[in-house]
Copies of this chain bind each other. A is one copy, B any other.
Amino acid sequence: MKIISDPLALKNYLRKQKKTIGYVPTMGALHEGHISLMKKAREENEIVVVSIFVNPTQFLAGEDLDKYPRRDEADKKICELSGVDVLFMPMSEFLYFDDEVKIQAPNVRGYILEGATRPGHFSGVLRVVMKLLNLVNPTKAYFGKKDAQQLHLIILMVKHYFMDVEIIPVDTVRESDGLALSSRNIYLSQQERQEALKISQALYKASSMVASGKRDVQEIKKEMLLILEPLEIGYVALLNRDFESIEEIILGKTIILVEVLVGKTRLLDNLWL
């Protein structure tokens, strides 16, 4: 496995390969969710590139940038074992410039849900993803469905700017008890971890209601809120795949998104119906 930190060295190296490239951008602290992305990239491409970069521009003031988990040595080993060909670990100084051209998240879809509580977050995400996709120029890039709004906005950016990459959404990986994997789960105390299970329980409840024929968004949302009630709820949203409000669930066209604060830890989960 080749480890590269210089953006232009990465670009020059990859441009010479003339092979299909599968790319998995990450912020490190790799877990089974990331590994499933790498595995898929490995199956579908000749070269697999992973990047680890804790992107400062997507953290707002007061967020957990400084304490975001960093585990470089363990991450390198995981990449090596996952058959990654190139690991890109850039330094911020070489990815960002003074007085920069910026990317601005969409006025509506960039400022609802996560974007409402974290205004500017998605502009930072799109900015770094645009840079990284241009550097790597992958055939396919793999993103987890767990960050559903991020995934949606990246798909929009690729469409709006006619970028030459196929974005591949990959299913969320869960613990056996249902908790969606996240690098931020390590913040949870034993008790908080138990409380966090209510998130997947609420989503399963919605799923079983839909399975039994229920379609009314308000009715399903009400049941979910009952389960989530003990937690500090950020949002529970039942939307179509364009992230617009709906009244009735249509199978294959709906997404249910949940954000809760467990202790001080913000947790996301969702279900694609």
Contact = CB atoms under 8 A, between A and B. Distances in A.
Interface stretch (A21-29, A58-66, A157-165, A166-174): A157-165
Interface residues of A, number: 32
A164 B134 contact: yes
A113 to B, nearest CB: 14
A134 B163 contact: yes
Interface string A178-205: 0000000000000000000000000000
Contact of A164 (B102, B130, B137): B137
Interface in A125-159: 126, 130-131, 134-135, 137, 153, 156-157, 159
Interface in A85-116: 97, 99-110
A263 interface: no
Nearest to A10: B162
A135 B160 CA distance: 11
A7 interface: yes
B101 A156 contact: yes
A103 B101 contact: yes
A11 interface: yes
A101 B161 contact: yes
Nearest to A110: B101
Contact of A99 (B106, B161, B163): B106
A157 B102 CA distance: 9
A131 B103 contact: no
A160 B101 contact: yes
Contact of A104 (B103, B156, B157): B103
A97 B159 contact: yes
User: Residue among A107, A108, A134 with the most chain B CB within 10 A?
Assistant: A134
Interface of A: 7-8, 11, 15, 97, 99-110, 126, 130-131, 134-135, 137, 153, 156-157, 159-164
11 contacts: A7-B162, A99-B106, A100-B160, A101-B103, A101-B105, A101-B106, A102-B103, A102-B104, A103-B104, A134-B164, A135-B162
